[in-house]
Structure 1
Amino acid sequence: MTGIRITRRTWLIPAICLAFILFFTVFGERGLLRIYEMRQEKQRIEHTVADLRIENQKLRSSIEALRSDRHQLERIARKELGLVRPNEVIYQFPPSGSK
């Protein structure tokens, strides 16, 4: 009988240790789940960076157009600031559908 109890204890202690190690391998701070989450976050950040690079390039193109193209600058000044040339007449109409 005592030989059977020793055998059970012999298997129980390594089994508990193995379960402990597996738990932290999967769920620990540096476990498999955390690694998966970090990879997902890395992909989201890389996507955001790619979008920001595209937007940055568009803004650089706009800046270059404003520096080199006087017509572009005039168009924006007229549209956004409402500027007009001397002796120009501006006609303003009410929005359609209003009385």
Structure 2
Amino acid sequence: MITKHLNPLYWKKSFLIGLLAGFFILWFTFFDTYSLSTRYQLETQKKNLVERTQELEKKSDELKQKISTLEDNPDLLEKIAREEYGMRKPGETVYRIKPAE
């Protein structure tokens, strides 16, 4: 003989509704494709990507400003070419001086 405690047909309706509600809460909180934990992770990832995008836009603006400065100032461009890349004008002789140790 099956006891009333093990047979779901004899349980109270309020208990069954509570059990069903608990199942749905657990399902939508942890197991569903769009669960709360997944949404939190996606929101955190979105926030990080937005911050990274802002940083890269700022860096891009700085580089555009540097390009504009170099295009407007040929003396600065020549200075950078000579100092950083060792370039010279035709017919010039470049002497490299080692710093004293």
TM class, shorter-chain normalised?
A: 0.7 to 0.9
Structure 2 residue aligned with 1:44: 48
Task: Determine the C-alpha separation between the residues in 1 that align with 2:26 and 2:19.
Answer: 10
Structure 1, 5-14 or 34-43: larger mean CA deviation: 5-14
Task: Determine the C-alpha separation between the residues in 1 that align with 2:87 and 2:27.
Answer: 67
Q: CA deviation at 1:94?
A: 5.8
Structure 2 residue aligned with 1:31: 35
How many residues are paired up? Answer: 94
Structure 1 residue aligned with 2:63: 59
Structure 2 residue aligned with 1:70: 74
Sequence identity (%) = 19
Task: Determine the C-alpha separation between the residues in 1 that align with 2:53 and 2:94.
Answer: 47
SS at match of 1:44: helix
Counterpart check, 1:91 vs 2:96:
yes
Task: Determine the C-alpha separation between the residues in 1 that align with 2:45 and 2:59.
Answer: 21
What RMSD, in angstroms, separates the aligned Cα atoms of the two structures? 2.7
Counterpart check, 1:17 vs 2:20:
yes
Deviations 1:56-90 (A, max 9, x none): 00110111012111112112211222023444542
Please identify which structure carries the higher helix content. Answer: 1
TM-score (structure 2 length as normaliser): 0.74
Q: Which runs of 5+ in 2 are unaligned?
A: none
Q: Which runs of 5+ in 1 are unaligned?
A: none
